[in-house]
Amino acid sequence: MTEAKGLSKPVKMKNDLAAFLGATELPRTEITKRLWDYIKANGLQTRTENGKPENAGKFIVADAKLLPIFKNTKSKSKSGKLTDLTGMEQGQTIHMMQMAAVVGANVE
């Protein structure tokens, strides 16, 4: 059997994400898929920044379960853009393109 590499290689998750997903290690692709499944199942997308959930759009609304995961995020991208969600509050939104930063901040 070949060892999984890159995005399909299981990574250890930090406590909040591990508790949310009910696992300690998953590949990044599976982590992202499960987060999106939850977001879609709970109608947590909106077309406007900090808008009301309307189950469509490019912004993700932080509910009580997603908030601790989002709040773990403080990272710089390769281009130097800072994603700092540590002061986020329930009901606020992140752009869907920030999901990679969220996943990255919640794995070891």
pTM, rounded to two decimals: 0.89
In a domain, 61, yes or no: yes
Residues of the chain with pLDDT under 50: none
Q: 34 near 21, Cβ under 8 Å?
A: yes
- The pLDDT assigned to 2 comes to 59
- Residue 43 domain-assigned? yes
Q: What is the model's pLDDT at position 21? A: 97
Q: Does a structural domain hold residue 1?
A: no
Q: Closest Cα to residue 25, out of 37, 38, 8?
A: 8
For residue 66, is it left (φ>0), alpha (ψ between -120 and 50) or beta? alpha
Domain tally, the chain: 1
Q: What angle do CA 66, 103, 12 make, to 5 degrees?
A: 105
pLDDT, residue 77, reads 80
Euclidean distance between CA atoms 105 and 108, whole angstroms: 8
44-75 tens-digit pLDDT: 999 999 988 888 899 999 999 999 999 999 98
| DSSP string over 67-98 | HHHHHT-EEE-TT--EEE-TT--TT-EEEGGG
pLDDT at 1: 57
Q: Is residue 23 one of the residues assigned to a domain? A: yes
Q: Which of 66, 35, 65, 40 is nearest to 55 (CA)?
A: 40
User: Given this model, what pLDDT does residue 60 score?
Assistant: 96
- Which residue range forms the structural domain that includes residue 20? 9-105
Would you state the pLDDT for residue 5? 75
Domain presence at residue 76: yes
* CATH code of 13's domain: 1.10.245.10
